[in-house]
Amino acid sequence: MSTRGPVRVADIGAFDALIDARSPSEFTLDHIPGAINCPVLDDEERRIVGTLYHQTGAFEARRIGGAFVAANLARHLREHFADRPANWKPLVYCWRGGLRSGSMVAWMRLVGWDAQQLAGGYKSWRRHVIDRIAERCPQLPLVVVCGATGSAKTRLLHRMETLGAQVLDLEGMARHRGSLLGAWRGVPQPSQKHFETLLAGRLDGFDLARPVFVEGESPRIGRIALPPELVERMRAAPVVEVQATPEARLAYLLRDYADLGEDREALAALMAHFKEAQGKETVARWQGWAREGDMASLFAELMALHYDPHYERSQSRHFARWQERAGVAAEDLSEAALPALAQRLLAGR
């Protein structure tokens, strides 16, 4: 692409590189997949320029900001772009396709590269993500995989994917296991916007003529809210249920949630969230087990008193086709048993 008209989101693939000229914090919050961050203003410089703009006006902000931009562009030319050939074609974007990306494009063109600017910047990408989610979700041929807590649903989805199935791993994208105890130890969740960017990309990769398997989720996974269009589609989809024995589920939980026992005080503190539903006496017992590291007793009662009753109440209310679900019995959820169980789930038996 050598013409220099407006470049749209659909044209991104025609370029050799995609450069995000926004600040590092903006980039971390969300960015177009495949972009590299080469800020023309870092976070502190952006704060300084914004303050000057409001206190002294546009001229002073641009004078100081221009010096920051020139220094940063010089550094990027030395450090990031020094080995790029003469026929290199980068696409640059900032927040809305304004001064920041325009400054970088101008300098790149002076060098001789056919640099261009994404029309509308990141905001145009964000509109694209929202539109794609709204368009694709109602078309998804979903099959919802349900099962009480500890049924290894996420691991089974991964196994199904290795067998060639199409899988939408919402918990993987949200970096959360979906329950009160489901935070990934030491791993923060993505921003809502970045989750939606990941989701839109995943949706675009599906063949709508084949089923897409997804775990039955509530409308929120940790602090991530699922798009209403996706929740509505899940609620109307056919269901296959992993009907694992309590013994198999407990053994699985003790393996999969073993990291919770690494910080016993933090686990005991989490138990306080159950006081309203379970009462002080029960929670005090659970906190004692947490502090002692008695994970087997703790998880067994959490299943029996909290998670299983909640599961029974919620499934028929949330999934319109719950009564006609296919059931797949499981007495073993060990790693060795999962491949065969995944095959049975794919067959719906």
Residues labelled as active-site residues: 94
**Secondary structure (3-state) at 164:** coil
Supply 238's token pair.
Answer: 């056919």
Supply 296's token pair.
Answer: 């087997």
256/298 Cα distance (integer angstroms) = 14
- Other Cβ atoms less than 10 A from the Cβ of 163: the count is 12
Q: How far is CA 250 from CA 153, 246, 301, 303, in A?
A: 14, 6, 10, 8
φ, ψ (nearest 5 deg) of residue 144: -90, 130
**Secondary structure (3-state) at 290:** helix
Q: Which residue in 262, 269, 270 sits closest to 179, CA to CA? A: 270
284/270 Cα distance (integer angstroms) = 12
CB 342 within 8 Å of CB 163: yes
The dihedral through the CA atoms of 123, 53, 27, 110 has a sign that is: positive
268/298 Cα distance (integer angstroms) = 10
253/135 Cα distance (integer angstroms) = 37
The residue with tokens 């009907």 is 243
User: What residues have CB less than 8 Å from 4, skipping those under 6 apart?
Assistant: 114, 116
